[in-house]
Amino acid sequence: MSEDEKSYRNPSPPPNYDNSVNESISLKSQFPISNENENYSNFDSYNNKNNEMNDNDDELYHLYQQIIVFFKTIINLIEQDKVDDDCSNDDDNELQKILCFLWDITCQEENAKLVVNCIESSISIFLKLMTITKMERTQELCLGILGNIACFESLYHSLYENEVLITIIGMTFSTSMDPEVLFSCCRIIKNLILGFCKLNYLDKEKDQKDRGLKFHKAFFKCFQTYAVDKKIFFILENSLHNNLLKEVLDIIYLLYSTVFLKEYTIFYIADQDILNKDENEKIKNAQYHLDIFKNNVDLLLQFLHKNINYLNREKRKKNGIVDKNKNSVVPEKTQEEDEQNNVYHSCRIFFETFESKMEVILSLLKIVYTLLKNNNLLMTDDIIQHNIIVLILEWIHLTFNEIPNKNKEFEPFSNDNNDDEDDEEDSILFDTIEISFQIINCYIQNHQRTHLHQLFFHPNDKYDINTIVKCLIIHCIPKETGWKILKWIAQEIKYFVQELYSNLINLKNNNTKLVVQSVLLNHFELLKNEENKIDINPKIPNQDKIYEILRSIISTMAYYSSYYTKGIEQDAEETYGDVKQRIIQKRLFQLLEEQVEIHELKTDPVIKYIKEIIHDKEVIMNYNEKAYQLEKLIVHTCCLLLSLDEVYKIINEKQETGLNFEPIHILLSKLWES
């Protein structure tokens, strides 16, 4: 990559860069670091406490001894102010070699437990090193060790009980400009968020609610104090580090995920600091404090819009699609066009940073999905939402046209899990198509009918809705989302045509009435004039094009009806890390009950407000109820599709329909038999 290309992603420090902050951390030994007999006694105490007697106790003990010696060396280096000694060459110094060893061994949970439990202040030692060293390599190694520890459920308490940890991580993330340090910071931030979820929902100890509130307060204080959000956007716009960008995208997705937003709202409303305020004031305060999320949403959506727009532009160029709004004669470039080219150049470098373009597209679309899904809390800008949906519809249209025909043929019981490694990119591609339709489904649920009809049934230059319907049927059936969108389209076509037909009849009647009135008023001569001629068979704007679009969609639904015989599958359950949404939903309600009891909340409006935020009917459905709902969805959709035969006759005035819905009849017969 040339220097000119790199200049578009500026790696210089952001404003107010300051690496001089230091935190005071106390170091205390749980066990005296002395002779071997005492160490063995301490090791026995640790081993019995954790009930993990192992056949390789001798080997584990020697490792324990070695760790104790290493910690003694580290503490001596800190006390003698020799942390950064011998750093004149590129090789690791004594401290860094020790940290390298500890980083390597903490990849295994048993070894990580030894590191955490051998002395009480082990976590504080790594944090202390991070604040006093001037070596980015030392910071990276300490963060790597903490990141490994944060991967294991059994060690979560050791991290969350240390109140300074989040502050140090936030401070380091905010001030460092070293890609490896930032990557390690992001890794531990991600593990902290995921770990907190497990700690709060899988561990039912009584003090977890207090720790949860404390964690959220510390996290958001750090978020605001060190402008973590600004640094995240700075990295997104400027970094050329593949792994760092991946971690940042993961963090954004987790921060705006359903559970984190719900947790934050519950904790804040139930906080003792606002107990004396009235109900409406509490709710307003909770909504106001969500601004930490809201303030960045529009900026984030603009970033997503810019990059998806770039993808579509590249696909159009690749396929030789010319923008119909531009003249064939190339005019001189304006300043605005130059700026736009610079933006696209920056986007190109962003995507080229990743090994797999399709993986980053999937990450971007997942963020769009969680933002739109939680729109009731985030209240994102409608215009930006609309523009992104248009781009996603265009992306589906362009992408589907590039998919080989072999993937567009009907296979009644095809196995989607292909073992061929060469097909991995295709698998990710189909995941991106699926998440795209989930985004569209979210948008449909949150917007008015008239606006949606304009998107789906009126002519436009960006995408062909018929192509999108084909893609939906071929790649999103038998998924639940595919059936939901299919049902909505069939339902809206029926409604739309009825409204259209009704309006035309009214318009025709009104025109006829005008003619009769003119004749009765002796203005017949006036009507002979061509300029004043009234059309008794009027047409609404774009009527012919709309009819053509609707005919194509209905024909496609009939032509590909074989796909409906695949049945229906429930969408994959949303997870937070590896914790399922069902568990989270249950624990959120338990958490609410605990907070109500602790803080003696007796105000119905506040409790009702929180319950509405938590409640997700589909998540708490039992298996039988969900199966019934899915079957009902199939039946309703199939019945609507069959009713489109009559709709087709209305808009297809010249000839018979010739539609074949036989597979739907077969599917309905099987359902009714069972």
For the segment 16-62, what is each residue's pLDDT rounded down to a tens digit?
444 444 444 555 544 444 444 445 445 555 555 454 545 566 778 88
332-354 pLDDT, tens digit per residue, is 555 566 666 777 888 999 999 99
Which residues, 6+ apart, have CB-to-CB distance to 612 below 8 Å? none
Q: pTM for this structure?
A: 0.81
Per-residue pLDDT, averaged over 127-145, amounts to 91
Residue 106 CA to its chain's centroid (Å): 30
Tokens of 602: 């007796």
Nearest 5°: CA angle at 157, between 155 and 160? 120
Which residue, 12, 603, 518, is CA-closest to 274? 603
With H, G, I as helix, E, B as strand and everything else as coil, classify residue 580.
strand
Spatial separation of the C-alpha atoms in residues 523 and 374, rounded to whole Å = 61
Domains belonging to the chain, first-starting first, are 9-225 (1.25.10), 494-571+627-673 (no CATH)
% of the chain surpassing 90 pLDDT:
24
Inter-CA distances, 110 with 107, 126, 145, 337, Å:
9, 19, 14, 58
Query: Got the DSSP string for 364-406?
Result: HHHHHHHHHHTHHHH---HHHHHHHHHHHHHHHHHHHHHS-GG
Higher pLDDT, 622 or 438: 438
Look at the chain and count its residues: 674
Q: How confident is the model at residue 502 (pLDDT cuts 50, 70, 90)?
A: confident
Confirm if 432 and 403 have CB atoms less than 8 A apart: no
At residue 483, the pLDDT reads 95
Spatial separation of the C-alpha atoms in residues 51 and 119, rounded to whole Å = 18
Spatial separation of the C-alpha atoms in residues 429 and 431, rounded to whole Å = 5
Spatial separation of the C-alpha atoms in residues 352 and 297, rounded to whole Å = 25
Higher pLDDT, 639 or 270: 639
Q: Is the pLDDT of residue 540 over 80?
A: no
Look at phi and psi of residue 658 and say left if phi exceeds 0, alpha if psi is from -120 to 50, else beta: left
Rg (C-alpha) for the chain, rounded Å, is 31
Per-residue pLDDT, averaged over 568-576, amounts to 77
Per-residue pLDDT, averaged over 590-604, amounts to 66
198 burial (CB, 10 Å; 0-12 / 13-18 / 19+) is middle
* Residue 478, preceding peptide bond in cis (omega within 30° of 0): yes
Which residues, 6+ apart, have CB-to-CB distance to 425 below 8 Å? 356, 358
For residue 580, report the phi and psi dihedrals to the nearest 5 degrees: -75, 150
Inter-CA distances, 11 with 40, 185, 239, 346, Å:
50, 17, 6, 13
Q: Is the pLDDT of residue 474 over 90?
A: yes
